[in-house]
Structure 1
């Protein structure tokens, strides 16, 4: 039998990335929250927290967090039905999603449920191939991912395909690609990447132009919307979802540099098999909207 005060301490530490802030959230002292972690580690017979930056759960800690999150979801769905006269408390829902989905179709998917229900939403932005790790660690209860196979206790649903194209402004094309997009012209043209973990651009250039990431330079900007702004401003070229830039492509504000070289990512939605109530409604809206908007 678990003492859920101990599990809530673990959850608060991982969410706040600080023992001090976690203690304040739980209205206890820092020494008390440290003691709770120590007690939990003694109970399971192994460490549950890696005291690093960022603070990370161990494999055992991930399993405990995942269990705690699932129990929270079940309780949040059950209590309003058992105690309808009590004041409602927002249902906390954590979802992991990639930046491109968030910038295109995901907001439209979640809006009906978020507008209707009392929800405290935590959207965790991760790369599309690593969002599923947030389910594994217990930080999220659902995820948009390029990974098809679900984790144990979860189900995956096909959403559709997200099509990317390499774009720039007309002025940028004239300045850097007047002789075409080639291995040589790419070496002098500034690109944009989301961060050092983002391999989409480098994989695309390597596949189509046999050019290594060290052979050209690339800005780092952690915003899908900023990609569009920088490309339209004529200071860089980049890969963008066609769904995000339909108006820009139609108006000529952005040009598809390589219409014969597209990149397609298949997207899936992962959710807990026991999802119900508000979580189930949210999951259904994400699946319905994703399948309707993704090609």
Structure 2
């Protein structure tokens, strides 16, 4: 196969990122018909579709591989530019990372702060469930990810970060109201819970495994914010599964109570990055791994 026409790969990448042919065309300063033609030309070149024109627009397997390849090439270009043109004002390096909400709420921001202070970086944090962050690497949307999955994708490597310890918590009034006789299958059926959203597998799996209770047997608020979990639990309107690292002060002060110490959850986290990562992105990876290993349980 001959060399790729990177104008075509750029068009595909912009369409999938912006979820719009029109917006992608505007960004590339070409007409909408021109960007449609570029996608068509790419599909004719490789002999198969690269995206599914649905809502939302999604990549095919071939499209995922092409976007991932293009992102890696752009990453290498970003690292090479200051070497080739050291006197030229440097544009911020665009860095997209896929991270779970609990890591954002606990250790992750502190981990990347030194890099943001020392480099010109335009950061895009993609908040996703810890079991699905690798999907962002697979599609090329992110160049690094925090995950509970140890095995890396082809072309990537993983580093063990440490253990995130979780416990079920509520305030004292809530515990007295719903769990006066302990946390069990029957009491959980009556007590309102909180999950990140309807896809929050962690909460559902935990309750199912420890208490043999299906998601359909209890009701659960959906709140897409780890910080809001804490606030709602402190207000006494629900119980939830939270990282001990996030609520150390609340547990120490008694604002929140571990309502079932015998039932706790431990998730091991891993950092995934491209094998050939270097420069700014290598610096990011090193800070993330070092900081997490210091903050998380071993």
- Smaller-chain TM-score bracket: over 0.9
CA distance in 2: counterparts of 1:51 and 1:224, whole angstroms: 34
CA distance in 2: counterparts of 1:169 and 1:23, whole angstroms: 52
* Stretch of structure 1 that moved more, 141-150 or 194-203: 194-203
Kindly state the Cα deviation for residue 145 of structure 1 after the two structures are TM-superposed: 0.3
Candidates 183, 194, 197, aligned match of 1:181: 183
Kindly state the Cα deviation for residue 251 of structure 1 after the two structures are TM-superposed: 0.6
Aligned residue in 1 for 2:86: 84
Aligned residue in 2 for 1:63: 65
Candidates 261, 264, 267, aligned match of 1:265: 267
Query: Which SS does the other structure have where 1:162 is aligned?
Result: strand
CA distance in 1: counterparts of 2:31 and 2:258, whole angstroms: 57
- 1:50 correspondence with 2:52: yes
Kindly state the Cα deviation for residue 206 of structure 1 after the two structures are TM-superposed: 1.3
CA distance in 2: counterparts of 1:239 and 1:204, whole angstroms: 9
CA distance in 1: counterparts of 2:86 and 2:27, whole angstroms: 26
CA distance in 2: counterparts of 1:288 and 1:69, whole angstroms: 25
Kindly state the Cα deviation for residue 219 of structure 1 after the two structures are TM-superposed: 0.6
CA distance in 2: counterparts of 1:168 and 1:30, whole angstroms: 53
State TM-score, norm by structure 1: 0.98
Give unpaired runs (5+ residues) of structure 1.
none
- 1:124 correspondence with 2:130: no
- 1:290 correspondence with 2:292: yes
CA distance in 1: counterparts of 2:174 and 2:85, whole angstroms: 62
CA distance in 1: counterparts of 2:21 and 2:232, whole angstroms: 39
CA distance in 2: counterparts of 1:53 and 1:102, whole angstroms: 29
Kindly state the Cα deviation for residue 35 of structure 1 after the two structures are TM-superposed: 0.9
Residues 224-263 of structure 1: matches in 2 within 5 Å? 224-263=226-265
Kindly state the Cα deviation for residue 286 of structure 1 after the two structures are TM-superposed: 0.3
State TM-score, norm by structure 2: 0.97
Count of residue pairs the alignment pairs up:
295
Moved over 6 A (4+): none
Kindly state the Cα deviation for residue 57 of structure 1 after the two structures are TM-superposed: 0.7
CA distance in 1: counterparts of 2:34 and 2:105, whole angstroms: 41
CA distance in 2: counterparts of 1:84 and 1:208, whole angstroms: 58
Kindly state the Cα deviation for residue 285 of structure 1 after the two structures are TM-superposed: 0.1
Kindly state the Cα deviation for residue 291 of structure 1 after the two structures are TM-superposed: 0.6
Candidates 120, 145, 148, aligned match of 2:150: 148
CA distance in 1: counterparts of 2:262 and 2:186, whole angstroms: 19
Give unpaired runs (5+ residues) of structure 2.
none
Residues 95-110 of structure 1: matches in 2 within 5 Å? 95-110=97-112
CA distance in 1: counterparts of 2:25 and 2:234, whole angstroms: 46
Kindly state the Cα deviation for residue 67 of structure 1 after the two structures are TM-superposed: 0.4
